[in-house]
A and B are shown apart, each in its own frame.
Chain A
C-alpha cells in the first residue's frame, strides 16, 4: 500500500532552446488505496505522466515518490508497480500461465508460490480454464483480463492503467469497468487510471485529474469536477453535451463567461434569452435542442447554445423562437481572459 506524490513534475523532450516541454509542472498527491483517474483529450500528456510514474519515461524535473520513496532514478521493476497497457502487451509465445508468472520467475519467487499466486489471480478473474492457452487463442476481453492478472500476481503497491478499456467494444467496456471497480474494492491497491473517456473517468474515479495541454486543470472528486469546474476547459470537457459558455448574451458583465449545462437551461414564459431553434436531436430519453441565443430577429449572429429537454416535454418546432433562462443556482462564472472559475460574482 502506498501513496503517490507528484511534485512539480516537468517533462521536456530534447535540450536547449529547441526543447519541447509537454508537461508543465504537475503536483498532486494520490492517497493510499485511492483510485485516481487522469482524464484529458489526446495529446494532453496524461499517458506521459503515467509513464513517468511507471519509470518508462525519464522525469525532466520535479520528483515522483511512491510510498514516501523518491523513485525518479529507479528502474520500473524496482518501483513496486504493475501496469496494464492499452494493447495488453502479452507475450505472444507464452501461455496465459507463463505470461502471469514471468515477472515472478525473474524475481526468483519459488515455483510453488508462483503457482499459488497465479491460481488465485486466475480465480479472481475467472481465467482458470484458460491458463494453458496462448494469447492469440483468447478474445479481446480475455486478453484484457490476463493483462490484469499479470498485474495482480505481482502484488504491487500501485496499479497503473493506460487506457486499458479502449480496445474493447462498448458492452464489454461497461462490464470490465465494473470488474475493475470491484477489484479495487477487494484489493484496495492505489491505482492511477488514464483515459480519454469521461464516462470511464466519472464512474471509476474516487478523485480525478483533468489535464489539458500538459497542465493539471483540476484535481477533485467527480462531483466537484461536475458541479464546480475549475476552468472553462474542465467545464466544456466534462459533461456531454458540453456546458454552454456564454459571453455576449444580455446580462453577462464584461470580462466574464457564464457557464450553464444544457440540462440546466429551461424554457421560460418570460424574462429569458431568445433562442431560435436550428436543430433537434432525439436521443431516446431526451432531446437536444440547438440554436443561437439572443441573435437578431432571424436568430443569426448570436452564441450557439444547447438545451436538453426531457422526452416528455413538448418539443419545439424547427425555426421556432423560444425564451430560455438558466437555473439560477446552477450557473458557473469564469474569467474571460484566464478561463478560471470566479466564485465572487
Chain B
C-alpha cells in the first residue's frame, strides 16, 4: 500500500467524513434533544430549541412505564413493547441461524435425490421478500391460530435463503479432508456438524446474528398485520401508534421511545464488533 502525506487531500477527506457523520447524527441528536424537553416546549417554540431541556427523566419514565399526561391523554408503557421486539428479534435471528445452518449442512454434505432442485428452490425464495407473499402468509398464520403470538411474529420470517446461501458458501471452503478425518475418527454426520462445523462457523454465525437481529427488530409491516392486541405490539409499531390517532402528540415521549428503540440494536452491533474483527482476521480453516 502506498502511504503519502498530502495535507490538502487529508483536509478534504476529513471535511467529507465530518459532513457525512453530521448528516447521519443530526436526526438522532434532534430526537434526543426533543426527548429532554416537555411536549409544550416542543409544540410552542418555532424552530425547536437545539439545546437539551430539563425534562429528560420525566420523558423516559413516561416512555417506559406510561401514565397520564397534562393534556389528558394516556401514554401506553413502552417496556412491554421493547420486550416483544426483543423476543421477536431474538427468535428470528436465532431461528434463521439454526434453520440455515442445517439446510446448508444438508445441501453441502449429503447426496440426496433432487438435491440440486432443493437448492434452487431455496435460492429462488431469495427473490420473494415478505411483502410479496404477505397475503398467503397471513392466511396460513391466521389458519394456524398464530395471530397475536410470538410464533406468528417470528416463524414466517425465519426461513432465509440468504443465510442458507452464506453458510453453504462457507461450508464449501471447509476442506473435504476434515470431514474424512472425522469419519475415520468415527464421528457420525451430526457429531461432525456439532464438533467441527459449528465451532468453525462461529464468526459467520455472529455476523449473521447482528444482521438478522436488526432485520427482526425493524420489522414493521408484518407485525402491523398479525397483531391486533396491544400487548403484542413491538416497539416500532408503538412509536407509530403514539403519533397517529392522537389529538395532541406528546413528541418528547415519542422521541424518548425512538431513542429507546435504537438502543438494543446499537448494543448488539457494539458488543458483536469484536467477533467481526476476529472473523476478518481469522481466515484459517
Contact = CB atoms under 8 A, between A and B. Distances in A.
Interface of A: 54-56, 75-77, 81-83, 85-93, 102-103, 106-107, 136, 150
A85 B191 contact: no
Interface stretch (B41-49, B173-181, B242-250): B173-181
B186 A85 contact: no
Given A56-B180, A92-B200, A106-B191, A87 B175 contact: yes
Interface string B195-219: 1100110000000000000000000
B178 A91 contact: yes
B216 to A, nearest CB: 28
B100 to A, nearest CB: 20
Contact of A136 (B184, B191, B199, B284): B284
B183 A76 contact: yes
A106 B181 contact: no
Contacts of B177: 85-89
B194 to A, nearest CB: 11
B183 A91 contact: no
B68 interface: no
B175 A77 contact: no
B180 A85 contact: yes
A13 to B, nearest CB: 13
A107 B284 contact: no
B180 A107 contact: no
Nearest to A90: B181
B183 A92 contact: no
A26 B177 CA distance: 25
Contacts of A75: 183, 186
Contacts of A106: 185-187, 191
Interface of B: 175, 177-178, 180-187, 191, 195-196, 199-200, 284-285
Nearest to A93: B199
Contacts of A56: 180, 183-184
A32 B178 CA distance: 29
Nearest to A51: B180
A82 B184 contact: yes
A93 B200 contact: yes
B196 A91 contact: yes
B285 A83 contact: no
Given A77-B187, A102-B185, A103-B186, 13 more contacts: A75-B186, A76-B184, A77-B183, A83-B184, A86-B177, A87-B175, A91-B181, A91-B182, A92-B200, A93-B199, A93-B200, A106-B191, A107-B186
A85 B196 CA distance: 17
A103 B200 contact: no
Most A C-beta atoms less than 10 A away, residue of B178, B185, B284, B285: B185
B185 A54 contact: no
A103 B185 contact: yes
Nearest to B176: A89
A77 B196 CA distance: 17
Contacts of B186: 75, 77, 103, 106-107
Nearest to B284: A136
A192 to B, nearest CB: 14
B184 A92 contact: no
A88 B284 CA distance: 14
A77 B178 contact: no
Given A77-B186, A102-B195, A106-B191, A92 B181 contact: no
26 contacts: A54-B184, A55-B183, A55-B184, A56-B180, A76-B183, A76-B184, A77-B183, A77-B184, A77-B187, A83-B181, A85-B181, A87-B177, A88-B177, A89-B177, A89-B178, A89-B180, A89-B181, A90-B181, A91-B195, A92-B200, A93-B199, A93-B200, A102-B187, A103-B186, A106-B186, A136-B284
